[in-house]
Amino acid sequence: MNTISAIRQSQAPTLFDLSEALKRDHYVTSARYPAQQVAQLGDEVRQAFNATWDDLPSDSYLTAEYGARERRICKFDYHQHDRRWRPLQDCHFFQTQADNPLLGGVERLYTRSCAAFIDSPVLHTLLAADLALMDLTVGAHDWRVTCHQFRTLCDQQHQGQATPEGRHRDGHDFVFQHLIKREAVIGGESRIFRDDGATVFSATLTGDMETIALNDRRLLHEVSPLKMFNGALQGIRDMLIIDFDRVHPS
């Protein structure tokens, strides 16, 4: 039995409900899926995965006024005919100015994620879980998938800006937002909006691997600033963002 089939059989009602919500509302949140699948891998595997966030370089495209953020990316091609994930070497990233008013129009190049991240059972469990939800929601497709490791930092003098561009789209078909860790911070509320400005969701992700999935073509999102707890020297918020884009036959 492949990983996707196992996830579907063990979590079929939950996965079905999540898919129906994503179809209906264009977003869905869950504190259990895929957190339960990741928990089954054990603490040692999860801790090794989380530790890869401790070696992210600064996001050099952001100036100091937008806060401190660290980042790596990696990409995969997924082919439905053999259900294989093929890692890519390319680490370029581009958004239009319409999607990202701050950094849109800039051809960016980021440092590739390390092998410990790319090969981690945690990452491949997340990819399988996210793909299972995509299969139920929009059917089987070939996908270009981009994984973004983010660490947002704050201290006594500076707030953390997880989305310095403000309310925006990422410019992809679907976006999964997985919380990796929060440490010594308050704030960082995730907010989702319709095009008419109406707020459809606002809550702070706090649980390990708590997840938001959204249709990026239909909705916009932002994250409120992060502030430190009193007495802490530095606060951090670690996120894994996984973008799914359909690959259409040429």
Task: Show the tokens assigned to 3.
Answer: 């990983």
Confidence of residue 108 (pLDDT cuts 50, 70, 90): confident
Q: What's the pLDDT score for residue 64? A: 66
Q: What's the pLDDT score for residue 189? A: 97
- Tell me: the pLDDT tens digits for 162-208? 888 889 999 999 999 999 999 999 999 999 999 999 999 999 999 99
Q: What's the pLDDT score for residue 250? A: 67
Domain limits, the chain: 3-246
Fold for the domain defined by 3-246? Jelly Rolls (2.60.120)
Task: Show the tokens assigned to 112.
Answer: 């590739």
- Tell me: the pLDDT tens digits for 64-76? 666 789 999 999 9
Ramachandran category for residue 21: left, alpha or beta (phi over 0 → left; psi -120 to 50 → alpha): alpha
Q: What's the pLDDT score for residue 210? A: 97
- Tell me: the pLDDT tens digits for 199-239? 999 999 999 999 999 999 999 999 999 999 877 889 999 99
Average pLDDT, rounded, for the chain: 90
Q: Which residue has the higher pLDDT, 66 or 148?
A: 148
